[in-house]
Amino acid sequence: MTAEITQLRVTDAKARAARLLLAYRHGNQAAFDDALPAQPSAEEARELVRALAWVANEAVHKAYRPDVADRVLRHIVRRVPDEPGWVETDEEAAPDVAVLLESVWRGDAETVRDLVRATPDTTFVLGKLVQAVALLLPSVPAPAMRRVLTQLRAGTPPGPPGRRC
């Protein structure tokens, strides 16, 4: 039931975003203003922005090959004046994965949250984390590896990291 409600909310948000974009494209200021909530709550604003981002992503996805789409978007971002809030979207903007892993290892949730929030493109973080896991795998004892694989295949989250094997 909750998934159905969520799907309905997503569909509604996308429809509102599409109405906004149509009004904007055709210069209909009255329709654009009418499509915006008068006093949007924070959640309504997030849903609308999410839906607008989804529509924009679909348009970019259909217009360009993935590698070209990223170049086009990066070009658009670079054209924006350097203001607070605008961030780089290239690999250098990703946090140092060693600091991220150390923070996870120490259980420093606040630092992990801050690093992830400050990362505009988590694709690079994910790639570096996969590389780190690949480097760590040879040192994982076989019983621990089997236990983790069994839990992953069963769909249950692995237990807390421990020193037991």
Residue 46 lies in a domain: yes
Domain-located, residue 72: no
Cβ-based burial of 51 (10 A; exposed 0-12, middle 13-18, buried ≥19): buried
The pLDDT assigned to 94 comes to 64
Residue whose pair of structure tokens reads 């992990």 in the numeric block: 112
Q: Give the pLDDT of the chain (165 residues) as one tens digit per residue.
A: 566 667 787 788 788 888 888 888 887 888 888 888 788 888 888 888 888 888 888 888 888 887 788 778 777 777 766 655 555 555 666 667 888 889 988 999 999 888 877 776 677 778 888 888 899 899 999 999 999 899 989 876 656 555 444
Domain span at residue 123 reads 94-165
Asked if residue 98 and residue 59 are part of one domain, the reply reads no
Number of domains in the chain: 2
Contact predicate 130/94, CB 8 Å? no
Q: Which of 45, 63, 81 is the last residue of a domain?
A: 63
Residue 105 included in any domain: yes
- 134: in domain: yes
In this structure, the dihedral spanned by the alpha carbons of residues 50, 52, 58 and 60, taken in order and rounded to 10 degrees, is -120
CA 73 – CA 61 distance, rounded (Å): 11
Boundary-marking domain end, from 63, 83, 114: 63
The pTM of the full predicted model, rounded to 2 decimals, is: 0.47
Write down the pLDDT at residue 161.
55
**CA–CA separation, 37 vs 31, rounded Å?**
12
- Angstrom distance (rounded) from CA 67 to CA 58: 15
What does 98-156 look like in DSSP terms, one character per residue? HHHHHHHHHT-HHHHHHHHHT-S-HHHHHHHHHHHHHHHGGGS-HHHHHHHHHHHHHTP
Is residue 71 included in any domain, yes or no?
no
DSSP-derived 3-state class of residue 97: helix
